[in-house]
């Protein structure tokens, strides 16, 4: 294969002024300079970048971003510099801390019948936004459909505080770092993907539909070009930022009374495996009518996976809900789950995992 390399070209009026800036201030290496008697072109490399500075090149002013673990020490504390040729240089964190925005609480109801658009997202998957406000950036909830067959995915990871994949219909195969060979989830099963765990979606079928919850709403997905999955190690007890990978199989779960009388629930073990960061339960109709209640969880999201019910909220008109609908109940807001059908099935996701419910 022939050698190929790429470079970014920047314009300058006087090259001799740029030489000390790129080599001393930006700590780049001078690789090429010519002509010798009156240099007009210099090529620098460093920090994964190759830059060609050329006298009177047609490009306008550009911006370079240098990411480092020590942004305050890289250029004597300066975070923004202007090179002699006008190039703006921004010095920033290589691995910035995850920012969790404060939740902007709201009572949200999103119905499938409202025909919110499906948009094409990563790897050709179709996304439907279940919480358009995203609670001020605190979380994102997506209803995702995947065309059956191979998924053109790459090994990647997410910089998140919490991420859930719950299968509503069909099946999907995924590979996860240090979790053995292919993992398949069917309807009723779920994964939690701890922060930065490497994974790759392989194949899906059966008209696959999943619910994906991410905290915060805006988070970075990075491709890992170096890791090959499956990895040779199997480490079921490994933790990523204090969270363990969970592959919960719905058919093996036990049912117990739910936090709201009149319903029963199946716990997915996510509260325990995230050390209380989040809780995920599947909810069905139990015995007797449900009372009005209120809770003190920061985020309480629910997706209707099957059946019908009426959702009443204090001061709001009742909502008739069916499969595909979703809602968010803010803390301290009284609600009533009324007239559930015998086949009602809800997916409830809360942050944190443990909280109080008051029966009114």
Measured between alpha carbons, how far is residue 6 from residues 2, 9, 87, 207, 222 in Å?
13, 10, 19, 43, 22
Assess whether pLDDT exceeds 80 at residue 73.
Answer: yes
Residue-range domain boundaries for the chain:
8-93, 108-249, 252-359
Percentage with pLDDT > 70 across the chain: 98
> pLDDT tens, 243-272?
999 999 999 989 999 999 999 999 999 999
Q: What pLDDT is stored for residue 152 in this prediction? A: 79
Other Cβ atoms closer than 10 A to 81: 18
Query: May I ask the CATH architecture of the domain 108-249?
Result: Sandwich (2.60)
Q: Which numeric CATH code is attached to 8-93?
A: 3.10.180.10
DSSP bridge partners of 293? 335, 359
Which two tokens mark 205? 């079928």
Q: Is the dihedral of CA 211, 215, 220, 223 positive or negative?
A: negative
Q: Which two tokens stand for residue 203?
A: 């194949």
Question: What region does 191 belong to: left with phi over 0, alpha with psi -120 to 50, or beta?
Answer: beta
pLDDT at 99: 86
Peptide bond into 352 cis (omega under 30): yes
Cα distance between residue 199 and residue 229, in whole Å: 7
pLDDT of amino acid 225: 95
How do residues 112-126 score in pLDDT, each as one tens digit?
A: 888 777 777 666 678
**Window from 34-43, 93-102, 140-149, 230-239 with minimum mean pLDDT:** 140-149
Kindly report the CATH number that applies to the domain delimited by 252-359: 2.60.120.10
**pLDDT tens for residues 131-180?**
999 999 999 999 988 876 777 789 999 999 999 999 999 999 999 999 99
pTM, full prediction: 0.87
d(CA 182, CA 293) in angstroms, rounded, equals 42
Q: What is the pLDDT of residue 1?
A: 63
Q: Which residues contact 306 (CB under 8 A, 6 or more apart)?
A: 323, 343, 344, 345
Average pLDDT, the chain: 93
Indicate if 252-359 has the same CATH topology as 108-249. yes
Pair type for strands 335-338 and 279-285? unpaired
């Amino acid at each position: 294969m022939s050698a190929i390399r790429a470079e970014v070209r920047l314009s300058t009026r006087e090259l001799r002024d740029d030489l000390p800036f790129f080599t001393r201030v930006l700590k780049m290496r001078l690789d090429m300079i010519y002509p010798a008697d009156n240099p007009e072109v210099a090529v620098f490399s460093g920090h994964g970048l190759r830059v060609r500075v050329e006298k009177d090149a047609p490009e306008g002013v550009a911006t370079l971003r240098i990411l480092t673990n020590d942004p305050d020490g890289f250029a004597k504390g300066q975070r923004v510099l202007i090179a002699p040729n006008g190039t703006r240089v921004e010095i920033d964190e290589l691995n910035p801390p995850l920012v969790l925005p404060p939740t902007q609480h709201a009572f949200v109801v999103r119905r499938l019948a409202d025909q919110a658009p499906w948009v094409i997202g990563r790897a050709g998957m179709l996304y439907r936004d279940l919480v358009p406000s995203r609670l001020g950036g605190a979380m994102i909830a997506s209803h995702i459909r995947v065309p059956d067959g191979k998924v053109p995915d790459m090994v990647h990871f997410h910089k998140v505080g919490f991420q859930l994949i719950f299968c509503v219909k069909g099946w999907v195969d995924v590979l996860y770092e240090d979790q053995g060979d292919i993992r398949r989830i069917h309807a009723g099963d779920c994964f939690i993907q701890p922060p930065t765990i490497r994974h790759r979606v392989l194949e899906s079928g059966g008209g696959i539909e999943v619910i994906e919850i991410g905290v915060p709403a805006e988070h970075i997905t990075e491709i890992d070009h170096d890791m090959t999955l499956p990895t040779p190690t199997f480490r079921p007890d490994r933790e990523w930022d204090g969270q363990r990978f969970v592959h919960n199989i719905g058919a093996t779960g036990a049912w117990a009374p739910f936090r709201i009388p009149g319903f029963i629930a199946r716990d997915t073990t996510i509260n325990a495996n995230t050390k209380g960061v989040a809780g995920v339960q599947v909810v069905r109709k139990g015995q007797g009518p449900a009372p009005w209640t209120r809770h003190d969880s920061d985020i309480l999201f629910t997706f209707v996976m099957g059946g019908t019910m009426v959702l009443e909220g204090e001061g709001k008109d009742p909502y008739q809900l069916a499969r595909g609908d979703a809602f968010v109940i803010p803390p301290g807001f009284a609600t009533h789950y009324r007239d559930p059908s015998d086949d009602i099935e809800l997916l409830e996701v809360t942050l944190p995992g443990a909280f109080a419910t008051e029966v009114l």
